[in-house]
Structure 1
Amino acid sequence: MKDIPVHQLKERVSSGLDIWHFVPGDEPDEEDTLGAHRDDHYIFFVLESGSASLMVDFQEFAFVAGSLYYLLPGQVHHRINAGVSYGWFLAVDSLLVTPDYQQVFEDHLQLQQPFSLNPQQLKQCQDVLSLLYEKYFEDDKNPFYLPVVHSLLQSFVGMAAGCYSQLNDKRLQSSRPSQLAQQFKKLLALHIRKVKSPSAYAGMLNVSETYLNEALKKITGFSVSYWIQQEVILEAKRLLYYTEMNVKEIAHDLGYEDHAYFSRLFKKAEGITPLSFRSSYRK
C-alpha cells in the first residue's frame, strides 16, 4: 500500500449521510474488517451491545455497551478485535455538521474518548436514530424528504456535541502539532474568504510554512493547501445548501472574482458542478 486509502462518502450516497443499524444476528460487512484507512467525513457510533476496539491515529480505544464515539475526517483508523458489536453507525458529510458543533468535535482532536451514555441519553439517541433510519429509507420522492432527514440528523449530531461539550479536557496536554492543527483550523474558518495562502496562515501562527505543513500532515494526513481547498469547498456547499445565492454571488463571497474559475475548482473537487450539487441536496 503506497498510501493510506481515503473513503469518500459521495462515492456511496448523494444525500450527505449513510446510516446503519446492526442487531444481534447480523454478520459484519466485509468493509468492517478492512485495514487502516481515512474517511473524508464524520463517523458516529452508538454501541448498544457487545464490545469493540478501534485503533485511531495509533491509539487504541475500547467500547462497551452504551458508548458514543465519533471519528473526525482524516483520522486513520481500523478495527483491531474480532468481537461482535451491535448498534448504530452514522456517516455524515462535514457540510451537515454546523460550525458550532464542529468546534466541539475539533476541540477534542487527539483527546476524544468514548462517551458513556446514561440510560436516558442512550434512549434519546436510540429514539432519534430509529426515526432517522425510518425516514432515511422511506420514498425519497417526497418533496420534503431531504429536509426532514437532515433535520433529524441535526438533532442527533447536536445531542452528540452536547455530550462531548460537557467534558473538560483542558487539563490534558496535547502535542505542539495537535495545538497548531487546532489553531490553524480555527483561523481557516475565520479568514477563508480573504486568505488562501499557506504562507499567510503560517505567518499568523508564527511558524514556517514547512513546519505548519509537517504538523498538519502528522495530525491529519493532509497538507495546508488541502485543508484550505476543503474549507473553500465546504463553505461553498453551505452557501449552496442553506442560501438562495447564485453561483456568481457565492464565488464573489468566497473571494473569487472569476466565477467560472470557481465553478471549475468546485467541479474538480466534487466531480459535479455547484448547481448539480444544489439540486442533488435540495430535491
Structure 2
Amino acid sequence: MAFTAKIKEINNVKEFKEYYLQNSDYSYCAECNHLEYAHGNGFLEIIALEDLQKLHSRHVGHQARRKFYSIILLTAGNVEEVIGHQKYHFGPQSMYFIPENQIHSIESWSEDVQGFLCMFDADYFLLCIKHQITLNQFPFFQLDKVPYVDLSERETGMMQHLFWKLNSEKCQKKTFNDDLLVRMFLNIILLEAERIHNHTTLAEPFNLSRKEQLVAQFQLLVNQHFLEKKQVKEYAGMLNVHPHYLNDVVKEVSGFSASYFIQKQLIQEAKSRLMQTNDTVSMIATELNFTDDSYFGRFFKKMTGLTPLHYRRKHKHQ
C-alpha cells in the first residue's frame, strides 16, 4: 500500500524534541550549562541512541523531513531506516548520514541499540573554520552517493572518541568562544568520515530513480555554477528539460523549489565571505555577480532578516 500520510516537517531541535521525545524541554545532557545560541547562530545537539530508542517508538514508519543535518554513529544493535526512497539496514560499526531536507523514516530499532546522534544546521557548520568546504560537498550528503560508511574496529573506536570529545566540549563550554572547539571536532568527524567514504569500494552501484538523478545533477550544477547562473531556466537548459518540469521534480523530491537551492547557495556563500573575510559588502556583491550593492543588500535581508553589515557584526570570527 502506498504511503499517503503527510510528511512531518521538523525545522529545529525544539521541534525534534516535541516530535520524538514528547517534551521540548528534554535535556540531552544533565551536565550541560544550557548555554543558548543567539538567534541565527545555528545549533548543534548530541543525544545517545539508547536514550532516543526509549522515547521514539511511536514514530516508527512515519515520514519526516528534517531542516538540518544528522550524523549517526551506531556501535551496537541494528536499525532499519528509509533515507530518501531507499531502505537501509545498519548494524554495529557503521555511520550513516541524513542530509538537510531529505525525507526520512525510522522503520525499526533493536532494543540493544547504542551510539550517538548529532544534529546541526548549515549556519552552525559555517562557523567552524575559514576556507572550509561546504556541507554539500561531502559525498554522504549528496543524493547520488551512499549515505553511510562501514567502519573497522579501529575506526569505530576513533569515532566514538571524537563523538565523546564533541559532546564533552559542548557540555563544558561557558562562553561562545569556547564553542570553537566543538565546531572543530564536528569538522574533524566529517573529514574523517569523508576519508573513509572515499576509500570504500561499493560492491554494486548506487541506484536512483530518474527524478532523483535529475535533482542530484541539478544540485551538482548549482554547486558549480551558482555564481554566474542564478535562473532556473539556465539549469534547465543545461539538463535539457523544461524549467517547469525541473522545478516540479525538485519540489517533489526535496520539498523545495529549484530557485530555493540557487538562493540558498548564494546566501551560504555570502554568509561565509561576510564572516570569514575582510572584503567590503560592495566587494562581496561584485564577487557574487550582483548588479549593484543595494540589490545584494535587499536580497540578503529578505533571506536572512538582517542587512549584510548587521550579519557581519553579529557573526564575524574574532
Q: Give the TM-score taking structure 2 as reference length.
A: 0.75
Structure 1 residue aligned with 2:66: 39
Change in 2 beyond 3 A, CA 1:32/1:162: farther
Identity %: 25
Q: Is the 8 A contact 1:9 1:91 kept in 2?
A: no
* 1:117 CA displacement: 1.2
Return 5+ residue gaps in structure 1 as ranges: none
Q: Which runs of 4+ in 1 moved over 6 A?
A: none
Distance 1:32 1:237, change over 3 A: farther
Say how many residue pairs are matched: 282
Deviation of 1:17 (Å) = 4.1
Given that residues 43 and 92 in structure 1 are in contact (C-alpha distance below 8 angstroms), is that contact kept between their aligned partners in structure 2?
yes
- Aligned counterpart in structure 1 of residue 216 of structure 2, from 182, 206, 215: 182
- Contact 1:61–1:113 (Cα < 8 Å) also in 2: no
Query: Against the structure 1 CA distance between its residues 30 and 113, is the aligned structure 2 distance closer, same or farther, given a 3 Å change threshold?
Result: closer
Structure 2: runs of 5+ lacking an equivalent: 16-36, 127-131
Match of 1:7 in 2: 10
| Structure ranking higher on relative contact order (CA contacts 8 Å, 6+ apart) | 1
Q: For residues 179 and 293 of structure 2, what CA distance do their matches in structure 1 show?
A: 28
> For the structure 1 residues 161 and 247, does the alpha-carbon distance in structure 2 shift closer, same or farther, using more than 3 Å as the test?
same
Shift of 1:263: 3.3
Task: Please report the RMSD computed on the Cα atoms of aligned residues, expressed in angstroms.
Answer: 3.2
Matches within 5 A, 1:1-283: 4-9=7-12, 15-22=41-48, 24=50, 28-29=54-55, 33=59, 35-81=62-108, 83-84=110-111, 85-94=113-122, 96=125, 98-99=132-133, 102-105=136-139, 109=143, 112=146, 114-141=148-175, 143=177, 145-169=178-202, 171-278=205-312, 279-280=314-315, 282=317
Aligned equivalents of 1:175 and 1:181: distance in 2? Answer: 10
Tell me, in whole angstroms, the C-alpha distance in 2 between the residues paired with 1:7 and 1:162: 30
Deviation of the 1:25 alpha carbon: 6.2
CA-CA distance at 1:20 after TM superposition: 1.5
* TM-score, normalised with respect to structure 1: 0.83
SS at match of 1:181: helix
In structure 2, distance between residues paired with 1:31 and 1:265: 42
